[in-house]
Structure 1
Amino acid sequence: MPSWPEHVMWWHVYPLGFVGAPIRDDVDPDAAPAHRLERLEPWLDHVISLGLNGLLLGPVFASETHGYDTVDHFRIDPRLGDDEDFGRLVAAARERGIRILLDGVFNHVGRGHPAFRDLTEGGPQRFRGRWSDGRFEAEVFEGHDALVALDHSSPAVADLVVEVMCHWLERGIDGWRLDAAYAVPSSFWAEVLPRVRERFPDAWFLGEVIHGEAARIVEESTMDSLTQYELWQGVWHGIADRNLFELSHAIERHDELLRTFVPQTFVGNHDVTRIASAVGADFVPHAVAVLFTVAGTPSVYAGDEFGWTGVKEERLGGDDAVRPEFPATPGEASADARILEAHQALIALRRRKPWLWRAHTDVIEVANTAIALRTAVGDDAVVVALNIGDEPVALPVADGRAVVAGAGSVAAGRIGLGPRGWAVLEA
């Protein structure tokens, strides 16, 4: 595994929504480029001002609707622009020391993909399904009829994915988020990823895995990291349900994974209700304090740092609220100053203590509405104290002495927190 992921923190963007591109209506994968991708460039300095140094991009390839129904892995979606627009974005990111991760949708494609349109009985087979009365009945991804599943036992599919990955790594990206990696056999990744690493040994591969035995999946697939949905659930359920024992349990499970790999951690992404809607604006700093003080490769979903809200719904267009258009510049974005300042302070702390990437976290004390956590390596430690109740509390801080984020009064080895208060201390 390359060493640079130890120092990267991602700003996660859903490009089609960010630039205000049409998602379902008036979408033509063969249309002339609209050159909207350039709207991302003014936001790169915002990434740096937050203290982040990575740009995790959602789908950017030609597709039929939301980007996950790819029709051409080698062409930038014309709703975003063209190859030159992408090249300028990569160059602008490189000038600022920002790494780029692309979203690789390799479990399925859209029905408009040329290989699927041209499928003939007896011809090359790249899709899962069967022929019946001269008609191919394709398997689809999780009931979505527009997403036809690739046949991962086909050498042609493996060759295609290797070619796609290497093409964009050659263009200057740093790695891949592997969409729906849990739906792809680990043996497929174990064949493909070493072939890519032969040419690009510094590439990093993050698998989207929402269930299953994470450590075994990493070992069998050779992926470098997986999305940590269990910790995400522990954070927002623990806060929203006023049951921090759930967070405590999730952290203990999280630590077990560190023996095998370092997960990718988050409290928001393009597929879930925004953290401010899930737990309430008052508790976003609490969630972010956990994110940036436990082990992992953290990401901030664009807009969460401003305290934006949005609820995901299970319906057509149900993702729109969490995938909004962004203003032209960061200065035009509405923001909750408390939440933005908490992000900046906690990211700065994480930047000062890179050892947090793979450090063990101990639960010092936990109750339904209060918890104290200590993450340490040697003599260096970070202590997090959270109160999600409506009454003041006092929590032990072990060797934590100086409050560096949040607010609280330290005396006799304990910190006093006000109602809904939080604090992070250094040893």
Structure 2
Amino acid sequence: MNKKWYEEAVFYHMYPIGMTGAPRENREQETVHRFKLLMEWLPHIAEIGCTAVYIGPLFESSTHGYDTKDYKLVDRRLGDNEDFRCFVEKAHRLGIRIVVDGVFNHTGREFFAFRDIQEKREGSPYKNWYKGINFGGNNPYNDGFSYEAWRNCFELVNLNPWEPEVREYLLGVIDFWIETFDIDGIRLDCADCLEFTFMEEMRRRTQEKKEDFWLMGEVIHGDYSRYIGDGQHLLHSVTNYELHKGLYSGHNDHNYFEIAHTIRREFDENGGIYRGMKLYSFVDNHDVDRIASKLTVKAHLHPVYTLLYTLPGIPSVYYGSEWGITGKKEGPDDGPLRPAVDLGKALEENRDSRILEWVRTLGRIHKEHPCLALGQYRELVLTNRQYAFSRTWEGDLLIAAVNNDEKEAPVRIPVPDGGRRYQNAVTKEEIPVENGSLGITVEAAGSVLITWLAGE
């Protein structure tokens, strides 16, 4: 089997404008070299077992990063192109792949093509680059023409993907980032707003440039298989928002049936609608409340992360959440989700963090057991408060058991009667088989990982 790096990856998600404390508005002329702060995170990322970074947005922009001013410049609030090239080089030396945010559905109002339309109106060669340009209308900025804005946010102007020059320009941008920085993939912002033929062209173009280049789309609602289905040459993966919802609400409601139903629906070998696909799993990101703020019982961070790493999917950790950073949206303000973090100080303050140590352990277990990335899923035990399942692949097995109860719970897990012996994957303590099952005790808000006894 020809495995690709992204099939077995564990991602770390960095929102650089927030985590470096950069100004939320890009109004200064000078370049500030904050990539030195971002590079300090790379050894920590490798140490907790992450093998890839999703970082972005990085394009030069006006405010939050998604209102692009220049696609071929790194945002001056973070540094310059040479700073980012060094960042990628260091990451690669540590065995970490780099995936960047691709914001190709819209631009900001300061992008050169929009500025040209403002200046030359009907005479602009770029008047067809955007959707809905109407020189007989107006907009909230009083430009004297109207245009289609992303979700009615008029600082974001929707590009016209049917315009051949727009497509070629954006594909050239991707070429530039691969050739200049040697990036390993792109996360497509608002992939559900992009044209499918454009994504097909992108897949062909990037694969010619770099055979194992990874394309992942942000898709919140709808049928994920439209983007990565069999026989299609679109994206390799999309965000699994359906599982994200179940991971926190299944704990808040003491209802593991919700999570198990989601997994059956998505990945069951006999009818799962996404079986064989590798979706991008997460418990929080730069757009949703931090998982530590979503959980009613903060101790549930332990089983939540166990499920993130052991259920089917490509797991991703959002910066700081590995030690339980909190943050909730305040109306339209995403700032609380994207705080500045002094890494050295944070690691010192959280050196005894139970959840940080568990994420570190899960990173090691994920690397040691390829079945977690590639294996078949099988449900073994399911109640409202306890849940156990196995992942198997080519002679590798891992069983995960989780408990969302306020007290420890005895769990009996059926296993094949094949004479194999089992052990706790973390402590290496043997777990005897009695009458075709394993008898374990899972602590309150805890989990147990089981594998075959070494040498069996």
State TM-score, norm by structure 2. 0.87
- Decide which moves more: 234-243 or 377-386: 377-386
Q: Which amino acid aligns with 2:239?
A: T
Q: Which amino acid aligns with 1:299?
A: S
Instruction: Find out whether 1:103 has 2:101 as its counterpart.
Output: yes
* Cα deviation code 1:321-346 (max 9, x no counterpart): 11111105366553261101110111
In structure 2, the residue matched to 1:423 is 448
Alignment counterpart, residue 357 of structure 2, candidates 315, 320, 341: 341
Q: Give the whole-Å Cα distance in 1 for the aligned partners of 2:315 and 2:429.
A: 25
Instruction: Find out whether 1:154 has 2:163 as its counterpart.
Output: yes
Instruction: Find out whether 1:312 has 2:324 as its counterpart.
Output: no
Q: Is the 8 A contact 1:408 1:418 kept in 2?
A: no
Flag the 1:407–1:20 CA change in 2: closer, same or farther, 3 A. Answer: farther
In structure 2, the residue matched to 1:42 is 40
Report the Cα offset of residue 154 of structure 1: 0.9
Q: Provide runs of 4+ in structure 1 moved above 6 Å.
A: 406-409
In structure 2, the residue matched to 1:404 is 425
Report the Cα offset of residue 199 of structure 1: 2.2
- Decide which moves more: 378-387 or 182-191: 378-387
Q: Give the whole-Å Cα distance in 2 for the aligned partners of 1:379 and 1:41.
A: 38
Flag the 1:407–1:302 CA change in 2: closer, same or farther, 3 A. Answer: farther
Flag the 1:339–1:328 CA change in 2: closer, same or farther, 3 A. Answer: closer
Report the Cα offset of residue 367 of structure 1: 1.7
Q: Is the 8 A contact 2:178 2:209 kept in 1?
A: no
- Decide which moves more: 78-87 or 334-343: 334-343
- Decide which moves more: 239-248 or 173-182: 239-248
* Cα deviation code 1:108-162 (max 9, x no counterpart): 1111111112112254311111314264311111222211111111111111111
* Cα deviation code 1:294-336 (max 9, x no counterpart): 2222211111111111112332xx2111111110536655326
Instruction: Find out whether 1:236 has 2:237 as its counterpart.
Output: no
Alignment counterpart, residue 298 of structure 2, candidates 276, 281, 302: 281
In structure 2, the residue matched to 1:179 is 189
Q: Which amino acid aligns with 1:334?
A: E
Flag the 1:145–1:293 CA change in 2: closer, same or farther, 3 A. Answer: same
In structure 2, the residue matched to 1:303 is 320
Q: Which amino acid aligns with 1:191?
A: E
* Cα deviation code 1:359-416 (max 9, x no counterpart): 2222222222221122222543211111111233222223483223499995642212
In structure 2, the residue matched to 1:51 is 49
**Identity score, percent:** 34
**Aligned ranges 1:30-179 → 2 under 5 Å:** 31-119=29-117, 120-121=121-122, 123-124=125-126, 125-133=128-136, 135-170=144-179, 171-179=181-189
Q: Give the whole-Å Cα distance in 1 for the aligned partners of 2:390 and 2:276.
A: 21
Q: Is the 8 A contact 2:422 2:430 kept in 1?
A: no
Q: Is the 8 A contact 2:322 2:356 kept in 1?
A: yes
Q: Give the whole-Å Cα distance in 1 for the aligned partners of 2:354 and 2:427.
A: 10
Q: Which amino acid aligns with 1:126?
A: W
Instruction: Find out whether 1:371 has 2:387 as its counterpart.
Output: yes
Q: Give the whole-Å Cα distance in 2 for the aligned partners of 1:115 and 1:77.
A: 18
Q: Is the 8 A contact 1:181 1:207 kept in 2?
A: yes
Q: Give the whole-Å Cα distance in 2 for the aligned partners of 1:198 and 1:228.
A: 27
Alignment counterpart, residue 198 of structure 2, candidates 188, 203, 213: 188
Q: Structure 2: any 5+ residue segments left out of the alignment? A: 138-143, 416-420
In structure 1, the residue matched to 2:24 is 23
Report the Cα offset of residue 39 of structure 1: 0.5
Q: Which amino acid aligns with 1:59?
A: P
Q: Give the whole-Å Cα distance in 2 for the aligned partners of 1:330 and 1:198.
A: 43
State TM-score, norm by structure 1. 0.93
In structure 2, the residue matched to 1:263 is 279
Report the Cα offset of residue 202 of structure 1: 2.2
Q: Give the whole-Å Cα distance in 2 for the aligned partners of 1:392 and 1:313.
A: 36
Flag the 1:71–1:357 CA change in 2: closer, same or farther, 3 A. Answer: same
Q: Structure 1: any 5+ residue segments left out of the alignment? A: none
Report the Cα offset of residue 176 of structure 1: 0.3
In structure 2, the residue matched to 1:225 is 237
Report the Cα offset of residue 281 of structure 1: 2.6
In structure 2, the residue matched to 1:6 is 7
Q: Give the whole-Å Cα distance in 2 for the aligned partners of 1:407 and 1:152.
A: 55
Q: Give the whole-Å Cα distance in 1 for the aligned partners of 2:278 and 2:343.
A: 35
* Cα deviation code 1:83-109 (max 9, x no counterpart): 121122112112212110000000111
Q: Give the whole-Å Cα distance in 2 for the aligned partners of 1:362 and 1:215.
A: 21
In structure 1, the residue matched to 2:140 is none
Alignment counterpart, residue 324 of structure 1, candidates 328, 339, 358: 339
Flag the 1:252–1:115 CA change in 2: closer, same or farther, 3 A. Answer: same
Q: Give the whole-Å Cα distance in 1 for the aligned partners of 2:65 and 2:327.
A: 20
In structure 2, the residue matched to 1:200 is 210
- Decide which moves more: 33-42 or 275-284: 275-284
Q: Is the 8 A contact 1:364 1:396 kept in 2?
A: no
Q: Give the whole-Å Cα distance in 1 for the aligned partners of 2:291 and 2:246.
A: 12
- Decide which moves more: 10-19 or 127-136: 127-136
Q: Is the 8 A contact 1:56 1:100 kept in 2?
A: yes
- Decide which moves more: 143-152 or 401-410: 401-410
In structure 2, the residue matched to 1:214 is 224
Which one has the largest radius of gyration? Answer: 2
Q: Give the whole-Å Cα distance in 1 for the aligned partners of 2:316 and 2:343.
A: 22
Q: Which amino acid aligns with 1:180?
A: C
Q: Is the 8 A contact 1:327 1:333 kept in 2?
A: no
**In the comparison of the two structures, how many residue pairs are matched?**
422
Q: Is the 8 A contact 1:108 1:148 kept in 2?
A: yes
